[in-house]
């Protein structure tokens, strides 16, 4: 298990400590989606401090996803995901600077799609990589 996943695991609830790497990645994506939705609401309510806090968490969590990629074994897929995550960070930063929810809507869509595919990986495939 990569260091960033362990860091995330160590900073969260006890049940997370027993989670496998696949579940941890899914939880990170869920937290990203929750913070993005909260930040969109904060933008609408003009709650700048709250928006900044949530978007800071989003950027950190997307960074955790980047750090969890196995660039050696993952090859082109990992490289493409890394670049997509970099793009998402750029969009989140843009939304933060412009107080615009539109870039966040795009990132929500992208993370939702990745999470859907990730969560759809069959259990027998997941177990091969948890050893």
Instruction: For 89-114, write each residue's pLDDT tens digit.
Output: 999 999 999 999 999 999 999 999 99
pLDDT tens-digit series, residues 68-89:
999 999 999 999 999 999 999 9
Within a 13 Å sphere around the CA of 58, how many CA atoms are in the beta-carbon half? 32
Round to whole Å and give the CA distance between 41 and 49: 12
Give this prediction's pTM: 0.84
> What does CATH list as the number for 22-118?
1.20.120.340
Who contacts 106 (Cβ-Cβ below 8 Å, separation ≥6)? 91
Round to whole Å and give the CA distance between 60 and 44: 23
Q: Average of pLDDT values for 14-43?
A: 87
Within a 13 Å sphere around the CA of 130, how many CA atoms are in the beta-carbon half? 15
Q: Which of 70, 92, 85 is nearest to 115 (CA)?
A: 85
Q: Which of 12, 108, 15 is nearest to 58 (CA)?
A: 108
Domain residue limits, the chain: 22-118
| Neighbour-count burial of 63, counting CB atoms closer than 10 A to its CB (0-12 exposed, 13-18 middle, 19+ buried) | middle
| pLDDT band at residue 131 using 50, 70 and 90 as cut-offs | low
Q: Average of pLDDT values for 32-58?
A: 97
Distance, C-alpha 56 to centroid of its chain: 12
Q: Looking at the predicted structure, is the pLDDT value of residue 5 above 60? A: no
Within a 13 Å sphere around the CA of 53, how many CA atoms are in the beta-carbon half? 7
Do 29 and 65 touch, CB atoms closer than 8 A? yes
Round to whole Å and give the CA distance between 67 and 7: 11
């Amino acid at each position: 298990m990569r260091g960033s996943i362990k860091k995330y695991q160590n900073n969260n609830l006890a049940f997370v400590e027993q989670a496998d790497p696949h579940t941890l990645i899914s939880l990170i994506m869920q937290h990203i989606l929750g913070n993005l939705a909260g930040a969109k609401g904060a933008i609408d309510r003009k709650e700048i401090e709250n928006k900044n806090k949530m978007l800071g968490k989003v950027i950190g969590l997307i960074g955790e996803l980047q750090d969890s990629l196995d660039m050696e074994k993952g090859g082109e897929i990992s490289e493409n995901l890394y670049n997509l995550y970099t793009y998402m960070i750029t969009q989140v930063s843009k939304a933060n600077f412009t107080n615009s929810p539109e870039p966040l809507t795009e990132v929500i869509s992208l993370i939702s799609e990745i999470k859907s595919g990730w969560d759809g990986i069959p259990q027998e495939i997941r177990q091969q990589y948890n050893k």
